[in-house]
Chain A
């Protein structure tokens, strides 16, 4: 078998494995959301299908697939079906640049545990998040419903506003590492030099912006049930609604993975290399470390959703433009000055 064919198979299998794991994780984060919310509200939650309700996601998927697909009258049919696809494609393809482990050696092949090691990884992430706006905005417009339209407009304003502070927080990290490659950023956080310790303000800004970008409570204004019925997905049913649902949780997982990569040391387990374990075990432990950190953050997202009430729209905009943006700029300037003094 030729070398390029082997490489092609490796890349394709990486994509298949990562997307498979991601989609399963998305399904089970919906389950986790329901269980955790039940726990927080002192209920039991779904526990009938399978042991402890673990087969619930599959049943949900079957239910959504079998529902009738309704397109509202006078809606733009093409854009109405395009919007959920944009949402899910954007959120799934963002995972391509996230390193979920160092390298793994199978036979004599050293495989990098990252689908695409592009040297503009962070910019790719930012570009993809900014494309995510289209799914929500277009679904809001094409439904021909005023609640949907309001949800779409809100989301586009909200996402553009919080992208800025997110970019500024990331910029401070880029300044410290001097690289746009996510792999380099993870490698520079070896031991306990996690960026959350060096960049606490940046971490908070990024976290808040990630909540706003994924439309999660306390910033879920595009779909605020009490005022907008269902927001941008009021008019969606069946598989199209399921796609929005999947995209929301995929966004949560991807944001968690990004926070892990940028601030929590990615797949780094402090001083794991010094224990003298076999390299295969080290690689697997690194993947487990990454998964554990991401799981923790996903649970954090869920925890916040069921504890913090929703912001009002003006509060959201004030927070974005009058608190997060100046804080981001100040953080960037301070980081730049400190780096300047450290170098000289």
Chain B
């Protein structure tokens, strides 16, 4: 994945805050969406992600901080001056217009020739595979089809940025995943910058180039999917993304300010760390899949007692307790579990999956 640094920022939040009746809905958020990039804001409901989206659309104004659209201050721009396409959770298709008229609606405000308009609408309808449905009214379409019309309508105006507010939230799981994969492919073809909001992790992982995790109005982590799972940085992101165990450990030594020696459960191992990491007490995020079963007597192992066991198909989930009473959520492949003795379980860590969190 390319570093986005040398691309143009389409949207930039700079220390943006927004207060609703005394409580902060958005607190000091800074990030950018770069040209051609698909950015997903992931978080529980009420975490402020939709508020950020509505700020870009111009439906809400920030109390403080700056929002740049195409490097211009957006504060004084009306929604219609912003060159945005927006897909709403309830699709917001105009019920009195058919599919063709819905897709055409945004083009009536642009000075385009009749032929250009027709070609653009046809192009969008074929992009989303609904050319045969042009005369249908929204109430004659399925949820997935309405979703596609909403997307075609938003893309028809060739926006600088596409905003998507829980676009797949009303679909059932199977349909949601299929649509997410379709969205990913469509984005690769169209290449428009996207800011997308969801509470569904699976959806985020399928579509996003970068994922930002929102918590209580703050952006607690933002990175490429694999990287954000490997190094969630904050306790909330670690718990929210992977139900990681947050455990107390000690930084024994820091090398060249990029890696650290960690002591935990009588083990010592090296992991990456950020510059300026002090030695002493720290907290580690250990995802449930960062464990493996090892034979007794292995010097890199620690013993646990199994308190609960849940069979989840491919994996089996354990609630374990270490000798000093630390509770751990552990997921092991069912194949591995099948051959192990569960009365005395010895675990070791996959060190690359463990990170220091604040």
Our verdict on whether A and B bind, yes or no, reads no
B residues apposed to A, CB below 8 Å: none
A residues apposed to B, CB below 8 Å: none
